[in-house]
Amino acid sequence: MPNPIAFMMLAIWPLVAVALFRKLPADRAVIITLLAGYLILPEPPAVFDLPLMPPLNKHNVPAVAAFAITLWMYGAKGSLLPHSAMGKVLVLTFVFSPIATVLTNGEPVFYGQVGLPALGAKDAIALILQQALMILPFLLGRQFLASGGAQRDMLVALVVGGLIYSLFMLIEIRLSPQLNLWIYGYYQHYFGQSVRFGGYRPVVFLYHGLWVAFFTMTAVAAAFALWRSETLSKTWKWLAAGLYLALILVLAKSLGALLLAFVVIPPIVLLSRTGQIKLAIVIGVAAIAYPILKGVDLVPQQWLLDQAASIDPDRAASLDFRFTNENTLLARAYEKAVFGWGNWGRNHILDPVSGNILTVTDGRWIIVIGVYGWVGFLAEFGLLILPLILLWRETSVAQDVRISPYIAPLSLILAINLADMLPNATLTPLTWLLAGALVGYAEHLRALRLKHKSPVIGLRWQSIM
């Protein structure tokens, strides 16, 4: 169980946020409040569980604090919702579709003598609040990180955060994952999953070693993006940081994160900005297509298992376990296909005697479809791919626009995060923050294009800051 230090850290984080906003510009304060909170604060079960409220944890406490502070210091900066009609529909559907989920789940669920409760008004309130809190980083990113300068700050923050976190990772690579136990009094996941290739996979203060490896991969990508974009006198330090973090990524012992690094880093180094954005949208569309293809049994599961087995039999066994659970959970989800089963674990299969959950939800997509149905899935994943679509539209219409050099690699990082949400549930506040920042930038590009009544010629990216 979490110790008092864990709860104290959650309780004081709003004060940390106040101090950051008093010392820093709003964009940097937003980035550091959310990034540092994600990396440092304790994972659930360290939560404040208040009546009629979703649990307040490391994922929403920093966002609530940042949102409240920006509202207090700067007031309402225009509309909270995206400018596009599709963006508005997706946000409203994301937040309020749980009402339909509750209305279609008014009956209890039984497995033998084990029962799960029907959903009611309290669940509707809690689920709506949970969705609203989850999307706060998206709204903050859209309003405060829409400029090219702010997005450079985000890349720098990822690199600096990765460099600092690497020190904790090296400790755990040598001694095994113990920092969360030493500081917060508990281990946040199964220890056995941290043993890999005769050593240890670091977890630090995140949910799982896979989350640490994925964050490290984004830090490597950010370093190479800055190496390519900065002036010659500054590039050496970003190259050195990228190479060092790449070594740390190898030591993190996550094959998936390594493969994603090979997918995202060469395009960042070699492709043009528009080429990177086009690749990002291809990856994003493929990520959304997978659940749909899976639903109609068009995913070549056996071929994928054979390929995985040729690399590592253990990874093939892990993939087979994932596929088996996905198939079971997808069949369960189709019983409530439109709006899902809701909370209380109703989307799972339970042991009729012990009541233990027998299924495992690894990928974010199967979690969302099971809980909120295909409507919830399209709303959530639609919001995450929306910035890629908007950026593709604006850069296609205005071919001569010189977009920010930092937009393209951030687009690839977002797209690769979408891809990683197929095998893992790596949806974090940083994902939402990045998506919101890219939506805000795309809206600026559109506003400038409409202002000129034609494709903007020779516009420098700094002019939209």
Q: How confident is the model at residue 453 (pLDDT cuts 50, 70, 90)?
A: low
Q: Angle at Cα 419 formed by Cα 407 and Cα 85, nearest 5°?
A: 60
Q: pLDDT tens, 70-104?
A: 999 988 777 889 999 999 999 999 999 999 999 99
Tokens representing 446 are: 């559109």
Q: Using the predicted structure, report yes or no on whether residue 128 has a pLDDT greater than 80.
A: yes
Q: pLDDT tens, 287-323?
A: 999 988 887 778 888 888 888 788 777 778 878 888 8
Strand extents, DSSP E, 236-325:
none
Over residues 326-344, mean pLDDT: 92
Q: How confident is the model at residue 398 (pLDDT cuts 50, 70, 90)?
A: low
Q: Using the predicted structure, report yes or no on whether residue 278 has a pLDDT greater than 50.
A: yes
For residues 37-54, one letter each, b for 16 or more C-beta atoms within 10 angstroms of the residue's C-beta and e for the rest, the string is bbbbbbbeebbeeeeeeb
Q: How far apart are alpha carbons 390 and 397 in whole angstroms?
A: 11
pLDDT score for 232: 64
Q: Which residues contact 143 (CB under 8 A, 6 or more apart)?
A: 70, 77, 78, 80, 436, 440
> How many Cβ atoms are within 10 Å of 4's Cβ, its own excluded?
10
Q: Provide the residue ranges of all domains of the chain, joining segments of one domain with +.
A: 4-295+363-464
pTM of the entire predicted model: 0.93
Q: Using the predicted structure, report yes or no on whether residue 114 has a pLDDT greater than 70.
A: yes
Contact 310, 86 (CB under 8 A): no
Q: pLDDT tens, 338-378?
A: 999 998 889 998 888 888 888 888 899 999 999 999 999 99
Residue type at 126 in one-letter notation:
A
Over residues 212-240, mean pLDDT: 90
For the chain, the maximum distance between any two Cα atoms, rounded to a whole number of angstroms, is: 70
pLDDT score for 463: 35
Max avg pLDDT among 25-34, 141-150, 443-452? 25-34
Average pLDDT, the chain: 89
Q: pLDDT tens, 166-224?
A: 999 999 999 999 999 999 999 987 777 778 777 889 999 999 999 999 999 999 999 99
Looking at 222-226, 434-438, 442-446, which range is the least confident one?
442-446
pLDDT score for 455: 46
